[in-house]
Structure 1
């Protein structure tokens, strides 16, 4: 134990208790103390940095996959530069730049797309030729290098010293840090944190607190599970070597060669070579608990596992052939099922916060993550959209250890894998399935996975291989999507959307409660379906959903499968004195979306009910007979056509599907996948939560003012809506269509207005009916009219190439929505 903290007194009360003294915990303590939380206690079971932080490689790469993740990484880099002056502890921070090289045309496309993204995020970046890469990195074999990008403000640091500097800064601002204290239990009452029981030198002590922060790294899952909280992560073995000193080796940029799963860092005349291999080794290998004594421990060497990486490294950097190996290192790091870390308040317990699971980018992430979490704890809401890393995206089943052990074998390698659009996970699949899964599989479905749900993404034709061939260009299912898309536009298509999240809210005050949370008017007749958003107090969008009134006191909320836990948490958090019961009923019903101009004709073959506009208008639901079963038919659409969502009890789902399929045989009924759902919705400019609309996007700027009723009385966000009406819009969500039919849009391409980058594409897909790639993106418009916004010339920058685009504020497909009311 560090003598500095020998038998330090544990306080009886604290405003927050942080569990874990790695770089993440130290950052949270530092930032809370900076905000004036002086009664913060950080408890470390052994010594600071003794889990993972001490052996991290310390790479500081500022460009991440989105604007806000880049914002956090840039914050970390800036903080680590300043920390030394503030605390007197050297952080080893060097902004010696980084370089990524591509060995294939596909990787070249990826890194050039990343460069366009960097420019949109105001990160200094330059595309360089192989010869320029060689000049910058003389030891590099460029024989097969296709291209490279250089980020001059990236760099490297000393991870352990950064943690120590953050810890010292936290102490200087009033926080207490105590080593050698093991947390036994987090105490709760009525769903809220009340305290922490810990053990110091054999004695048990209780700290009274309302806030606990789980920064326990690879111990985080088990610690959370003891409180009934889901934190899905699992450790993997992570390998690197450090050479003996190499004569004449001078300061170099950090080098990444993702096609060979390797990174290179020069440090004090030695070379560190690390790996993110595609098939990783979970640790402990049989899912055992990590030893109580684990502290600055290394794992056994496995040279056979590392040898293929080393052979590629010697070819890439020939000087390594004669360099002696000083250290062969293997240490554990924690990984998550989707390769993104966890931040925020756990939905199960109020006051239980999480900052863990950093997937080998903990050093560059923790500075910004600690800042963001501290702000979140202080203000009661995140400082900006953090949905990518929000703990509420975790599904309860994902804490299963066998699932995690299987999945993390893949997620370690994802950091350097090709980040192709539509890339699907290969491991730990098949956990959640629709009742008609086998039916769809037999008919050619190729499945993707969201929140554990297996969903048909596209349908292969007879004789066509049933798997993805990934590319940045048109993938092997592009023509399948075209046929499915056109069937929905001209005939009739059927989607299995059983993965929709379904929440039942019922009780005496259910209507009053929902009207306080929702921006639209919920108090309508039975059978009415209302499209609405739940807003935060800034007018940002917390949830995008439909609310169907089933009876006077019962409502069904339908949300995306990926946001179900988030939406449940928002409802429960905001339930006040109203008498209302909130129940997740997702598994109770399957959902079949029957869509297209021939959908009425088809459903009338199977049901004696009246589906006319008079009897069943758009935006209403009614119970129907169908085949020999019953369903609830909701007349709504996410594809912009006449159609019904059929909610069928799970036990009758297979029968109803078979009846639909048989009745539709001579009508050309086409089974459709999620890729087609997305391409149809983007032609109609329907928003997608998490991309086009987030808790940072004002509902009026997102173009959803039609779903807001300020005259109904008070609701969360109403004041922000009224203020925005007065002050005017700062930006607008615009729909774009590329005039060249060849290029593709996916997400995060740069939006160029009159020659200047002004934003990014929030979501993109191919508009098969409109004949070109379609994207949505925000355009700044302070003081401008709608006509001013549309009067500009727009281009979209894709991998460094600018492509002309048409812009519209109305949906380019069926702008008056006549087709849904046919």
Structure 2
């Protein structure tokens, strides 16, 4: 039946692939008036040629949950809509052919157990029983996930589209979007060749064209297109409909059954970009020319695993471009640049696996005004200024694609597109052996190699080559002093007549203090979850200086700006690039800083939790007495042109006090001993301050209203069902990385959010939530006996509810 083209809708979704149709399905079922626009026909972009494997396990519990939502939907969708989906829950098999890969797979099995996902470790012979066609001579072991499966991409998308229509959504094909109309920074309408559609919300699900659609609204969507090839064979004897999907990462290949034959593809180490000079307008149900030369190495690897491929007939070699992102994760959420503009794109060749769940959470995000749970790994606000350059994005994305099946080593760094953003100290630190990591384009010293040590990372699942160097830096901070270059910190100014009132609403802690005060605070969502974790220094009656983590620059700026109450005179400015930051930390910090300034920095004159302007070695410095490593010290914020002078003066004065350069990996070991939380790991939107042991930093005893207060008050009355705790192991040789399963009295009770080693306490340390539906308090936690599962083995663990080091803060307040 013909539909009249609409002139208005509550939400307009752009793109008729699986993500757009899934979002339309879920948003319409939430009661929204939805219009979906597709430039050509449904599935005609990259959906129709997707391979269709559906795996669920990821390194994030919530992304694993999201993928599980896809499986849950695909199991019932055909019965609901009457359209076939091709869904088969035939399980997924993953091989390990080296000792390092086997360690990775065993750790993945532990992660699966942590997240409640069924996963079994198999011997080579057991794996071959599930997949009889493969040669297992080089296989060390395998993992099997029985709830994984496969689907027909076009069929499942058409089924979602029918379900969306059944719920009231209107879908229009052959409609080209020509522009996005904005009004005062907010979506107002979508412009098309057929007319204007006024709307509250736009959801950009345009796949490879999402970057172009985003640009229409001034929104950056950092993705590029990469050629991806797979082969479809004729029938092969022994290939049965119930054959599990197979991933063979050491041979860079994957397989699934199709009509009695096999689909075989892979992720080559030398990927080929597509659309470098722009994407074609008309690419409907189109493919690129097969590149047999480029596919030959993949084929040779596959023949070693599945010898029957040598005699199999080849139906087709598919070469279909797909959108990929710089970190291998997809992109969801409201764009920080424009209110009401949402993105669901960049699915890195697992759009079918993600489609059902991604559409669900994106619809709930649109309808609820916030993500339904913590989706930070895929949140569009994880990107920053460096992602605005398409050349940089492409270089990083090609490296991410090439690493798709390489071992995901702990602390592994990307190398493409570097160096880009550099502190004024970059050259000086490099000359002193700094080994840099990168975050949001910033070069940051991870550790320092001494004379005779190779200044490079060598990755492993065992103790890494930087272990000794980090221990050396750790001890310097504890025993003498260390200096950290933290110039990459995000730094904002909030100014204006209503700055105090605005921050008092947004911050959970009390920032309405006199100038010179420094406040550690969280910013909460309406559920009481922690959206930001930062420090606020009051510089004047109408001026606040905000410092937060490097990777949270876009996210935190957006959160603060959007939550300033309407009508308040408060202006937020990002001044990250104006100031360098050095953290001088350790028992000798005052002895080093004191001679370089004429101002009094004694504990009486400059106590912990204060901010003051100092002149240090001729440089104007904003000094914040705060710590993330658990020692006496200051963050020294200095204009970039003075940075090198200040650093040289500190190093010269510090030479006789044992001052040492230290990096971010030492910060991690130091903060674990102090039980300091890390946003994005230990705390986030799914965790409240009460659950995280941060109730002391919330102004519940005052009458001041703040965002999230009602939720915290309700939780305080009802009690919590999870509580953050610290764990140690007696065996110093065990490596904790995070996501290890917590067992309490023999029952699964959570997982570690962080893991590492404490060089002062001499033990592996983990941080994680102990969970129980019946309620959790200190008495409950202390009454239990604990174990951690590490790579499949259970190890006795000791519970700690207070910091392992200097619990009374005597050293910090010295």
Q: Aligned ranges for residues 131-210 of structure 1 at < 5 Å?
A: 131-200=125-194, 205-210=195-200
Distance 1:612 1:591 in 2: 21
Unaligned runs of 5+ in 2: none
Q: Which residue does the alignment assign to 1:746?
A: 737
Task: Find the counterpart in structure 2 of residue 794 from structure 1.
Answer: 786
Which residue number corresponds to residue 620 of structure 1? 610
Check conservation: 2:92, 2:149, Cα contact below 8 A: yes
Question: Is residue 728 from structure 1 mapped to residue 723 from structure 2 by the alignment?
Answer: no
How many residue pairs get aligned? The number is 810
CA contact (8 A) 2:722 2:775 kept: no
Per mean C-alpha deviation after superposition, the further-off stretch among 366-375 and 721-730 is 721-730
Q: 1:633-684 CA distances to partner (integer Å, 9 max, x unpaired)?
A: 1110000000010001011111111111122222221111100011101110
Alignment match, 1:809: 801
Q: CA deviation at 1:291?
A: 0.8
> 1:785 Cα shift?
3.8
Q: Measure the CA separation in 2 of the matches of 1:351 and 1:234.
A: 24
Q: Which deviates more, 784-793 or 181-190?
A: 784-793
Cα shift at 1:397: 3.0
Contact 2:253–2:265, Cα closer than 8 Å, also in 1? yes
Separation (CA, whole Å) in 2 of partners of 1:689 and 1:747: 14
What is the aligned counterpart of 1:428 among 409, 417, 432? 417
Name the residue aligned to 2:124: 130
Tell whether 2:809 aligns with 1:820.
no
Q: Is the 8 A contact 1:230 1:394 kept in 2?
A: no
Match of 2:635 in 1: 645
1:137-179 per-residue CA deviation (whole Å, 9 max, x = no partner) reads: 1111111111101111111110111110000100111101111
2:347 matched to which residue of 1? 358
Quick check: 1:580 aligned with 2:580? Answer: no
Q: TM-score, normalised by structure 2?
A: 0.98
> Is 1:341 matched up with 2:314?
no
Q: Retained in 1: the 8 A contact 2:93–2:245?
A: yes
- 4+ residue runs over 6 A deviation: none
Instruction: Pick the aligned partner of 1:16 from 11, 34, 40.
Output: 11
Secondary structure, aligned partner of 1:149: strand
Aligned to 1:675: 665
Does the 8 Å CA contact 1:446/1:460 hold for their aligned counterparts? Answer: yes
- Structure 1, unmatched stretches of 5+, are none
Partners of 2:746 and 2:27 lie apart in 1 by 42
When residues 784 and 363 of structure 1 are mapped into structure 2, their CA distance, relative to the original with a 3 A threshold, is closer
Correspondences of 1:597-608 after superposition (within 5 Å): 597-608=587-598
2:309 & 2:227 partners in 1: Cα distance? Answer: 23
| Rounded Cα–Cα distance in structure 2 between residues aligned with 1:712 and 1:564 | 31
Partner residue in 1 for 2:98? 104
Q: 2: CA distance between counterparts of 1:540 and 1:434?
A: 33
Q: Secondary structure at the match of 1:153?
A: coil
Q: What secondary structure does 2:720 align onto?
A: coil
Greater shift after overlay, 415-424 or 205-214? Answer: 415-424
1:665 aligns with 2:659: no
CA distance in 2, matches of 1:390, 1:249: 40
Which of 445, 461, 466 in structure 2 is aligned with 1:456?
Answer: 445
2:750 corresponds, among 756, 759, 762, to 759
The residue aligned with 1:118 is: 112
Work out which of the residue numbers 344, 359, 365 in structure 2 matches 1:370: 359
Deviations 1:82-107 (A, max 9, x none): 11111111111011111101011111
Quote the Cα distance in structure 2 between the aligned partners of 1:784 and 1:327. Answer: 57
Measure, in 1, the Cα distance between the counterparts of 2:515 and 2:669. Answer: 32
Give the Å deviation of 1:429. 1.8
2:34 aligns with 40
Greater shift, 571-580 or 408-417, is seen at: 408-417
Which residue does 1:482 correspond to in 2?
471
In structure 2, what is the Cα distance between the partners aligned to 1:306 and 1:654?
Answer: 51
Aligned partner (choices 620, 633, 636) of residue 623 of structure 2: 633
Say yes or no: does 1:569 pair with 2:558. Answer: yes
Are the aligned partners of 2:22 and 2:359 in contact in 1 as well (CA < 8 Å)?
yes
Q: Confirm or deny: 8 A CA contact 1:230 1:396 kept in the other structure.
A: no
Question: How far apart are 1:230 and its partner, in Å?
Answer: 1.4
CA distance in 1, matches of 2:105, 2:407: 10
CA contact (8 A) 2:132 2:238 kept: no
Which of these residues, 704, 718, 721, is aligned with residue 709 of structure 2? 718
Give the Cα–Cα distance (whole angstroms) in 2 for the partners of residues 118 and 64 of structure 1.
8
1:437-456 aligned within 5 A = 437-456=426-445
1:296 aligned to 280, 285, 289, which one?
285
Judge conservation of contact 1:535–1:716 (CA < 8 Å) in 2.
yes
d(CA) in 1 for partners of 2:238 and 2:729?
51
Aligned to 1:76: 70
Report the alpha carbon displacement of residue 784 of structure 1 after superposing the two structures with TM. 4.7
| Larger CA deviation: 422-431 vs 643-652 | 422-431
Separation in 2, partners of 1:720, 1:764: 30
Partners of 2:5 and 2:404 in 1: how far apart?
Answer: 40
| Partner SS state of residue 75, structure 1 | helix
Retained in 2: the 8 A contact 1:339–1:414?
no
CA distance, structure 2, for counterparts of residue 148 and residue 469 of structure 1: 25
- Secondary structure of residue in 2 paired with 1:733: strand
Q: Residues 740 and 804 of structure 1 are in contact (CA less than 8 Å); yes or no, is this contact kept in structure 2?
A: no
**Pairwise CA distance, 1:783:** 4.1
Structure 1 residue 510, shift from structure 2 partner: 0.4
Tell me the equivalent position of 1:61. 55
Contact 1:221 / 1:399 at 8 angstroms: preserved in 2? no
Deviation at 1:448, TM superposition (A): 0.8
What corresponds to 2:272 in structure 1? Answer: 281
CA distance in 2, matches of 1:210, 1:462: 61
CA contact (8 A) 1:171 1:177 kept: yes
Structure 1 Cα separation of the partners of residues 567 and 803 of structure 2: 41
Q: Tell me which residue corresponds to 1:700.
A: 690
Equivalent of 1:306, from 295, 311, 315? 295
SS in 1 for 2:181: strand
C-alpha distance in 2 between matches for 1:317 and 1:543? 50
Aligned equivalents of 1:269, 1:224: Cα separation in 2: 42
- Provide closer, same or farther for how the CA distance between residues 324 and 737 of structure 1 changes in structure 2, counting only shifts above 3 A: same
Q: Is residue 2:227 matched to residue 1:232?
A: no
Secondary structure of the equivalent of 2:798? Answer: strand
> What is the rounded CA distance, in whole Å, between the counterparts of 1:448 and 1:504 in structure 2?
27
Return the TM-score normalized by structure 1: 0.97
Residues 603-656 of structure 1, C-alpha deviation per residue, up to 9 Å, x if partnerless?
113222211100100001111111122211111000000001000101111111
Q: Name the residue aligned to 1:92.
A: 86
User: Which digits, 9 at most, give the CA deviation of each residue in 1:687-734, with x for residues without a partner?
Assistant: 000110011101111100111012141111111121122112221100
CA contact 2:386–2:440 (8 Å) conserved in 1: no
Aligned: 1:214 with 2:208: no
Question: Contact 1:55–1:331 at 8 Å: present in 2 too?
Answer: yes
**1:558-612 superposed Cα distances (whole Å, 9 cap, x missing partner):** 1111111111111111122211110001001010000000111111132222111
Q: Is the 8 A contact 2:336 2:558 kept in 1?
A: yes
Partner SS for 2:437: strand
Secondary structure of the residue aligned to 2:559 is: helix
CA contact (8 A) 2:24 2:164 kept: yes
